Amino acid sequence: MLLPAILALFFVRVNAHASHRSDEFYPQAKTFQQHLGMDVVDVSTEPWTSKYGPQFDLGYTGPLSFSHLPYSRCLDDGVARFDIGLLGMPFDTTTSFRPGARFGPFAIRSGSRRQGTDRGTLAWGTSPGELGAALLDCGDVPVSAMDNAKAIDQMEAAYSTLLGRPVHGGTTAAYKPSTAAFALDGVEHPRIVTLGGDHTIVLPILRALNKVYGPVSVIHFDAHLDTWAPPPFATGQERISHGSFFAIAAEEGLLTNTSVHAGIRCQMHGIEDIEHDDSVGFQVISTDDIDDYGIRKVIQKIRERIEDRPVYLSLDIDVVDPGLAPATGTPEPGGWTTREVKRILRGLAGLNFIGADIVEVAPAYDNADVTGIAAADIVYDFLAMMQLDSPPQPHGGPFSESDLAHQ
C-alpha cells in the first residue's frame, strides 16, 4: 500500500509544480514587450496554441540547458534570482594524463536532455522541482585556456559573484533556507552545483566559499587522493594541478580536518601518501570497503565524519568504474557502479551542503554518451540531496521493515 500512496502524492505534486513553473521564471517576455510599447499578440487564438497548447521542448529539442531549466548568463544578469544555480567551468589545463574535460559542461547538459527537474523517481520519492528551491542554469565561466593563473582567478571571481547574489527564496512552501546558519555574515547565500572541468576547479571554489563560510569539510568521491604535495621542483603555477589542489587548499587554511574520501583505489608512491593525506585532514574510504562492510556502513561513516558541519561535495566521475563511465582523464579499473554512487548520495541527504560539483568528464573518450548521461543523473541527485532534511525512505513495494532488519 505504501508504494501507490507515494506515487499518487508524487504525481499530484509534480503536476501542481509544472503548472506554475513557466509563470515563475518567464514573466519577462510579456513585461518586456509592454515596456517597449509593443502590441502583445493573443497567442491563444492562433492555430498552434488553440489546437496544441503551449510550445514545449522535447527531450531532444530546445536550447541546451541542464534538464531544460531556465537559462541565464548570471554573471552579467543582475535580475536573475535562484536558490541553487548550475555553473559550468570548462577548464582542463592542469590535467596529468588525458585532456578534454573542458567539454564536460556541454556533455553533462547534453546528457540531461531526457531529464526534467519536475519529474521524480521511486528512489527519491519526490523531484528536485517540488522541493521548492528556484533552480537556474547560469551558463559557463569563459575561462582562459592559455593562462592557468588567470583562469583560476576567473573561476574564483565568478563563483564569488554568484555566492554574493540575493537568493530567490523558494518557489513553493516546501523551500527551506539552508545556508544562513553557517555563513559568517548570517545571510542566506545561494548554493552552486558546478559542472567541470578538471578537478583543479575546486581550489578557486574553496577560496570563494572560505570568504563566506570559513574553512569547510569536504566529501570527496574519487579514485585518487588529490592531496599529493606539489613536487619540490615545481614552479609557482605548476604547483597547482588536479592532483595537488587539496594540499594547496590545506596550506591556505580552506579545509577543516574532518573531510573524507570515498571510492579511493589508485596506485600510490608509498605509505607517505596516506600519511600526508591524513595531515591534510582526510579520512579514507576505499572502493573495497563497500564490499567488506556494506553500503549502509559506508554512508554511516561519511555522516559520522561530517556531523552537522557545513560541507562541500566534490565528485570526480572516475569514482565510477570506467566500464560504466569511460569518458574521463585518469580512469582506474575496479570502481563503484553508478547505482552504488547514487545510493550513497541518497544516504547523505540531510547533511548541511553548501555546494557541490562533478568533474573530469571528458566526452572525447565516451561511448554512446554513457558518461555524460551518468554524470547528468548524478547532478539530478545533487539537486534533490541538497534540499532534503533526511535520506528518503525505501519505497516499500513487496518489502517491509523486517526485510531491512534481516538484510
Output the nine-digit C-alpha cell for 296. 549502509
Q: All domains of the chain, ordered by start, with CATH?
A: 64-392 (3.40.800.10)
* Helix, coil or strand: residue 133: coil
Residue type at 303 in one-letter notation:
R
Under 8 Å between Cβ of 282 and 325: no
Q: What does each of the 407 residues of the chain score in pLDDT, given as a tens digit?
A: 445 445 444 544 444 444 344 444 444 445 545 555 677 888 888 788 888 888 877 777 778 999 999 999 999 999 999 999 999 999 999 888 899 999 999 999 999 999 999 899 999 999 999 999 999 999 999 999 999 999 999 999 999 999 999 999 999 888 999 999 999 999 999 999 999 999 999 999 999 999 999 999 999 999 999 887 887 777 777 788 787 889 999 999 999 999 999 999 988 888 888 888 899 999 999 999 999 999 999 999 999 999 999 999 999 999 999 999 999 999 999 999 999 999 999 999 999 999 999 999 999 999 999 999 999 999 999 999 999 999 999 887 888 777 776 55
Output the nine-digit C-alpha cell for 37. 510599447
Q: Which of 266, 224, 251, 247 is nearest to 360 (CA)?
A: 224
Output the nine-digit C-alpha cell for 23. 509563470
